[in-house]
Amino acid sequence: MTPAAVSCPAVLVAAPSSGQGKTTVASALARLHARAGRRVRAFKCGPDFLDPHWLTLATGQPVHNLDLWMTGEDDARQRLHEAARESDLIVVEGVMGLFDGEPSAADLAQRLGLRVLAVIDASAMAGTFGALAFGLQHFRPGMPWAGVLANRVASERHAQMLEQALQAGPGDAAASSWLGAVMRDARFSLPERHLGLTVAAELPDAMARLDAAADALADTLLGRMDTADLARWTTAFAPPAQPIDTPPLLAGRTVAVARDAAFCFIYPANLDVLQAMGARLVYFSPLADEPLPACDAVWLPGGYPELHATTLAQGAQCRASLAAHVAAGRPLWAECGGMMALFDELVDQAEQTHAGWGLLPGRVVMQKRLAALGPQQLDLPAGSLRGHTFHYSRTETPLVPAAQTLAVRGGAVGPGEAVYRHGPVGASYFHAWFASAPAVAASLFLPEPA
């Protein structure tokens, strides 16, 4: 019997474009209600690894990704259904602009009934604010709507001008969608670097920044919403028609996972899938030069090896234990940053060359421009594993790719990332969402058939 739908207030925090303050507002909203004792779960629309770190800090709960293509609608429905059973509020942070991408945050909102809270950086506008808010609400018919919040506002007078611009729009809906203004304040700015926001754990004042943002939000209509007000955002979340089954393909196997500031691009959902398949997970820190724990397979996830290349090069104990693991013929799967560390050399953005771990021949070179971005799919006999790619480096290697992912954009399919095989080592820039094809994910951590 299919479980019944579960109702819970939920909102999708969106914007006209990237850089408007979605992460700050979504995290502040989650933090504000978590401080009030409410059970808050947060999700991130799209494949991003970095924004979820801030949402996790705000809620104290794991943050999963929702994407109608990469994770799939059934996966999204199941996660939201489970969250609704134990939450007083669900906050979903959008991706890019509301209508950007295929599928977009707007697609997710309409498919799952999430009300849209539009965050607009109003720092350089007045009357146009009303037109922009009206367009976001009405560009597509039937958009579930929560309201609009002005961000980075200069003064109370500026806020009044923005609210008046909204009221000048056609119909009563425009006036009723005003949820207030957040003033510009450096105390809760979130720093960025080449792949996105700085990871929250790297900033000693990260929680203070979130609390300052939550305090600022508390002065708005949005921030003053109580339990009764939140009930207006209630959505019924139905589970998928067929429960998602995960076969125990890794039963009895131990998988060692690198996890530290250099290797921090880990979907919590991927860890859940490995455990659901029966794997026992153990963790180690290459940055701390920890030797590899006893294990059957290794996962080196993505992250920032280029920012820690000197330290990683000096980690003789970790490097030696990885080499012994590979020499024994045990599987190692490395994705993006994990792969970068495996080459003979890593050249950073300052053009300094650092010794790598020497488990793949050649070198990886950082560059100023983005090298690849977008959804990817890896087709293997066991199925199609979905994911994405996002990197600023290139490889220079004599290795011939053993396979290649497919880049999927707007229904068009083209060549994607190389997948290298070198003995028991598998490596690619491809970031996988393991739940999209558990059998394929399991094969990454199993010895290749003789």
pLDDT, tens digit only, all 450 positions of the chain: 568 999 999 999 999 999 999 999 999 999 999 999 999 999 999 999 989 999 999 999 999 999 999 999 999 999 999 999 999 999 999 999 999 998 999 999 999 999 999 999 999 999 999 999 999 999 999 999 999 999 999 999 999 999 999 988 766 555 559 999 999 887 767 665 555 556 666 778 888 999 999 999 999 999 999 999 999 999 999 998 887 788 999 999 999 999 999 999 999 999 999 999 999 999 999 999 999 999 999 999 999 999 999 999 999 999 999 999 999 999 999 999 999 999 999 999 899 999 999 999 999 999 989 888 999 999 998 899 999 999 999 999 999 999 999 998 766 788 899 999 999 999 999 999 999 999 999 999 999 876
As a whole number of angstroms, the distance between CA 122 and CA 445 comes to 49
User: How far apart (Å, rounded) are the C-alpha atoms in residues 271 and 114?
Assistant: 27
Residue 136: both structure tokens together: 């976001």
Residues 6+ apart with CB under 8 A from 95: 44, 45, 46, 48, 101, 104, 105
C-alpha closest to that of 95 among 109, 113, 115: 109
Residues taking part in catalysis: 336
What's the CA gap between 131 and 230, in Å, rounded?
26
Rounded to whole angstroms, the Cα distance separating 262 from 143 reads 40
HSE-CB for 61 with a 13 A CA cutoff: 20
Beta bridge partners of 327: none
Return the exposure string of 4-21: e unless at least 16 CB atoms fall within 10 Å of the residue's CB, then b: eebebbbbbbbbbeeebb
Residues of the chain with CATH 3.40.50.880: 254-443
pLDDT at 244: 78
What is the rounded CA–CA span in Å between residue 265 and residue 222?
Answer: 32
Top-level class of domain 254-443: alpha beta
Q: Which CATH superfamily is domain 6-237 in?
A: P-loop containing nucleotide triphosphate hydrolases (3.40.50.300)
- What is the pLDDT at residue 171? 61
Q: Which residues, other chains included, contact 162 with Cβ-Cβ below 8 Å and sequence gap of 6+?
A: 122, 125, 126, 129, 130, 150, 153, 181
d(CA 22, CA 112): 20
Measured on CA atoms in the order 155, 160, 163, 169, is the torsion positive or negative?
negative
Phi and psi for 286 in degrees, rounded to 5?
-60, -35
- Start and end residues for every CATH 3.40.50.300 domain found in the chain: 6-237
Cα 430 to the chain's mean position, in Å? Answer: 14
Q: Where are the alpha helices (DSSP H) in 219-279?
A: 227-230, 268-276
Predicted pLDDT at 198: 63
